[in-house]
Structure 1
């Protein structure tokens, strides 16, 4: 009999039972930093931008010189010069003068605004007519508007996105201190399993969970080592788990997590450390278990059914990786209208895959129906939704949160 925890209780146990690994940072080049976790805060040591810039093609002006002007009564300013891209402004704007500037070009000293080209007239005699007044700061980015020296740009623990790479490039950062990638061992168990390249005999099935779990861990940023398919032989499985724990930061077993005679995962974890929980009140994925060795390494036992393994990896193994890396879980989600009713009346949180599509009234979620052993039912799924354990289901047309199958 399993003494189940709720999904929230399981996540809380992960948070309290494990601490971020105390690993020295490693330095990677900027081009290799995407998806890595920052080990240290990134603080600006320069002004970005380092000069006042125009956001439009137009004329740099003193705003006060344009006050009260209009189409009928333009402000007539003397053209003092032109600023070229990639060069300093090189002039100071006196009252009653203006300077031509391109988008992104430097704004001369003395100017405090830029009027766009479309609202100006070149009279061809060295004077420019401004047809609409501007306020100070109009169409300008000032020096340091982006960041100033000492500003924290990115916090430690952030998993770097493409926009972060751009920010680091703007600061001139070419070497990035990151958390070493976690090393996770993955083991598939079961007498019935054969590798994907084999043709199954009667009573056999191809191993889905090994490649599936490794792919999900790699997507989450971990380094994985697959220890193969181990038959239901407890002594051999114990030796393989010990080998994986020796080389890795944690180990993931799929299969053997239930309470049958051949389900040895719980006994092995108890022998190597302690079992933190065995069973989660969810469907699919109830027989999931979590253990910890005496040295603090994580041991996770996942159900053998592929869809159950997918959901429990998505929900709990990813949360474990986030905790060990010392970062914050970011759950990406969208709101969509459910296209058909989905029932649930078994007293457990129910997780359903979903396909997203654009409908006439906005984003729609098509529920994917299938059993936990049928992984192909989730091929092509964009995300999933959860029906809480105290809810009997969602009606068609309900607006629900759909959590995306993406890296957190």
Structure 2
């Protein structure tokens, strides 16, 4: 098998992602939400400032606002004081100054603020300055940060915490965002049990659904949690049909392989459509993508690392496109391998790595160790992926590799 060969029946990862995204369309409906409910939501319209930020020219320091001329005066007559929220409206003439506090509006005529540490009171009405007599020093100008009429955010921007402060500074109390996605989530498997219960022989705790639920919530998505469904074809079929009635997408984990109790692909073929099933990717070869009615369907593997990696690399970009994000692809960089990496001929391998800068300031990466699809610690120890293209030759220490930092969903 050459470096470009793909095992029979396996769809290359890049092809699968392109086909998947081609099937996805952003939701058109939008709603207005208050700022406190807008974190993680996607703007439906551009945000254009109606005001300047700051709204008026003000002082950056506690000190004295002066009318500076050349040459500077030896001392200045103190004519008043100016506090935040209480402007001094009299014009400051050459040779005059006003006591001013941080954030207070600069009085008319003032063109310099001297910090109080450089001031000496000669008497109740006279101030001398030892330093800082520079035109425009310690002054914040109106609109210096954001000017009225400026486009602050484009449609498709995902709102974060810092954005809330910007909206508030603009006087915006609510924003127009894309309608919140609703995603159905379920896990299938007779061996799966809820955390907190007692395990019987042959059982294990179900970890995929809680982790994916957390990531969906962090994306601002409403989750309809169907819990754990037994390995029963009719129960699974009923759950899929119920989810498709009012959800934009359905995400399942487990049941997509070729075992006797793996029914997902058969059910999807029967009641919906299958776009692809097996991918040339590691971890996570058995991945089903299709539709049930209008709902997009993602059938992820049951192994925990496989489920989280395929969700992150395939489902997240698709969901972001549905949400209307302006940026849906993960950026990659080139790093120096600080350890050897085994490769998987014919499959794109998303190994978990620790990215760091070496003694020469170069980006480097080392493996987290064993990369089994069941080993969650390979994820918890990592801060990024080492993306190894389908090839036969292993990566040696010192080789260049493609890496991808974990984003906030995994980091």
TM-score, length-normalised on structure 2? 0.84
- 1:271 match: secondary structure: helix
Secondary structure of 2:142's aligned partner: coil
Q: CA deviation at 1:358?
A: 9.0
Residue by residue over 1:188-231, the C-alpha shift from the partner in whole angstroms, topping out at 9 and shown as x without a partner, is 22343333344443433332222232222222222222223333
Match of 2:367 in 1: 367
For the residue of structure 2 that corresponds to 1:393, the secondary structure is coil
Q: Equivalent of 1:45, from 50, 55, 71?
A: 50
**CA displacement at 1:307 relative to structure 2:** 0.5
Corresponding position of 1:103: 102
- The answer (yes or no) to whether the contact 1:384–1:405 under 8 Å persists in 2 is no
Alignment CA distance shift 1:39-1:395 (3 Å): same
The answer on 1:60 being equivalent to 2:69 is no
Note if contact 1:213-1:310 (Cα within 8 Å) is conserved in structure 2: yes
Match of 2:26 among 5, 8, 20: 20
Q: Secondary structure at the match of 2:11?
A: coil
Deviation of 1:87 (Å):
0.8
Residue by residue over 1:249-283, the C-alpha shift from the partner in whole angstroms, topping out at 9 and shown as x without a partner, is 11112122234554332332233333222233221
The farther-off stretch of 314-323 and 372-381 is 372-381
The CA deviation string for residues 34-68 of structure 1, in whole angstroms up to 9 with x for no partner, is 222223322222232221111122322334x1x45
In structure 1, the residue matched to 2:277 is 278
1:8 equivalent in structure 2: 14
Tell me what 1:218 maps to: 217
Between Structure 1 and Structure 2, how many residues are aligned?
Answer: 400
Instruction: Show the 5 A alignment for 1:24-35.
Output: 24-25=30-31, 27-35=32-40
Structure 1 alignment gaps of length 5 or more: none
SS at 1:288 equivalent: strand
Unmatched runs of 5 consecutive residues or more in structure 2: 1-6
Alignment of 1:196-345 (within 5 A): 196-260=195-259, 262-295=261-294, 297-327=295-325, 328-329=327-328, 331=330, 340-345=339-344
Aligned-residue offset at 1:244: 1.0
> Which residue of 1 is the match for residue 185 of structure 2?
186
**CA displacement 1:133-182 (0-9 Å, x = unmatched):** 65543321112222233222233322221111111111222233333321
Structure 2 equivalent of residue 385 of structure 1: 386
Query: For residues 112 and 352 of structure 2, what CA distance do their matches in structure 1 show?
Result: 53
Aligned to 1:313, the other structure's residue is in SS state: helix
- Give the TM-score, by structure 1 length: 0.85
Residue-by-residue CA offset, 1:369-402 (whole Å, 9 max, x unaligned): 2310233443454443323334732526979745
**Alpha-carbon distance change, 279 to 79 in structure 1, aligned in 2, over 3 angstroms:** same
